[in-house]
């Protein structure tokens, strides 16, 4: 629904109506508690807001950037979702991550100033672009911005470790269960339903991410449904037995962190 509304924005940033533009400022953004402005004053948030670029929404298949591109800045998804992937030497697409609203993209490119993956949008998606050099200038002025950026980097490291743990824990059921639970908890922390959501990625994309064959993903979905763990119809998923799914997948011990405010 948000997409429909945003679909009307066909023109560039400068042509946006002032009311819409107001909705798109950091100060009034619903994602603020997950994003960079955590802990910042009104005035500081305004400063941050002033360096952010908000482009026309991207459409399915559009790219935020491509692997090898010079690093310009980080992106924050505000609506929609994207995949991060690279092409291996066999020409296959390997998906390294999916990003939802409030999540930062491009953090891995800070240290060598080159994006190491391509990022393509999975559905109509809006994103804020934060030019890194300007962001860095601001961090020296605004200590809580520096702190929050570090926290978000740390959280990303944490998530990636979690993913390593999931992928190393062999079975297809464990992987898919963990994947669904991860999505669920991420939706939840965005005040969306933790139990019922739409997958924006295809089975093939899930398979690539989890290191499985498409058919295995499909079969595992079916098996979960037979077992009454969930209902699935194409992209629509309804989790029926979170407990059982957690028993399958939740191996990594960091339920520790979920729910704890980032700025502790």
Contacts with DNA by CB under 7 A lie at 170-173, 202-204, 211-219, 221-222, 232-235
Report how far Cα 152 is from the mean position of its chain's Cα atoms: 12
In the bound complex, what is the minimum distance in angstroms from residue 75's beta carbon to a copy of itself? 14
- By beta-carbon proximity to DNA, the closer residue of 13 and 231 is 231
Q: Which does 195 bind (CB under 5 to 8 A by kind): a copy of itself, DNA, none?
A: none
- By beta-carbon proximity to DNA, the closer residue of 15 and 60 is 60
Residues making contact with a copy of itself (CB under 8 A)? 67-68, 84, 86-89, 94-97, 107-114, 116-117, 136, 139-140, 143, 146-147, 149-158, 160-161, 163-165, 167-170, 208-211, 250-254, 256-257, 260, 262, 264
Q: Which does 193 bind (CB under 5 to 8 A by kind): a copy of itself, DNA, none?
A: none
- By beta-carbon proximity to DNA, the closer residue of 107 and 214 is 214
In the bound complex, what is the minimum distance in angstroms from residue 119's beta carbon to DNA? 18
Q: How many Cβ atoms from other residues are within 10 Å of residue 52's Cβ?
A: 19
- By beta-carbon proximity to a copy of itself, the closer residue of 105 and 127 is 105
In the bound complex, what is the minimum distance in angstroms from residue 3's beta carbon to DNA? 13
Residue 54 — φ and ψ, nearest 5°?
Answer: -120, 115
Residue 84 — φ and ψ, nearest 5°?
Answer: -115, 130
Pairwise CA distance, residues 17 & 124, whole Å:
20
Long-range contacts of 67-71 (CB under 8 A, 24+ apart): 67/115, 67/116, 67/117, 67/118, 68/114, 68/115, 69/114, 69/115, 70/113, 70/114, 70/115, 71/106, 71/109, 71/110, 71/112, 71/113, 71/114, 71/115, 71/132
């Amino acid at each position: 629904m948000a997409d429909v509304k945003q679909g009307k924005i066909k023109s560039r940033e400068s042509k946006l109506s002032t009311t819409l533009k107001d909705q798109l400022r950091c100060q009034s953004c619903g994602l603020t508690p997950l994003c960079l402005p955590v802990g910042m004053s009104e005035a500081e948030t305004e400063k941050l807001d002033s360096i952010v670029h908000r482009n026309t929404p991207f459409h399915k298949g559009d790219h935020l950037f491509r692997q090898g591109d010079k690093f310009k800045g980080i992106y924050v998804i505000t609506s929609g979702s994207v995949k991060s992937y690279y092409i291996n030497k066999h020409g296959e697409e390997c998906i390294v991550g999916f990003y939802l609203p409030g999540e930062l993209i491009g953090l891995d490119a800070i240290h060598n100033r080159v994006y190491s993956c391509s990022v393509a949008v999975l559905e109509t998606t809006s994103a804020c672009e934060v030019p890194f050099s300007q962001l860095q200038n601001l961090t020296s002025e605004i200590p809580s911005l520096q702190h929050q950026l570090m926290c978000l980097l740390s959280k990303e490291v944490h998530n990636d470790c979690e993913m390593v743990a999931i992928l190393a824990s062999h079975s297809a059921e464990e992987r898919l269960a963990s994947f669904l639970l991860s999505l669920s908890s991420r939706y939840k922390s965005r005040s969306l339903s933790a139990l019922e959501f739409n997958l924006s990625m295809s089975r093939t994309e899930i398979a690539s991410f989890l290191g499985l064959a498409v058919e295995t993903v499909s079969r595992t979905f079916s098996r979960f449904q037979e077992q009454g763990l969930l209902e699935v119809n194409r992209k629509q998923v309804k989790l029926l037995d979170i407990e059982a799914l957690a028993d399958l997948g939740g191996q990594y011990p960091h339920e520790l962190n979920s729910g704890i405010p980032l700025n502790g």
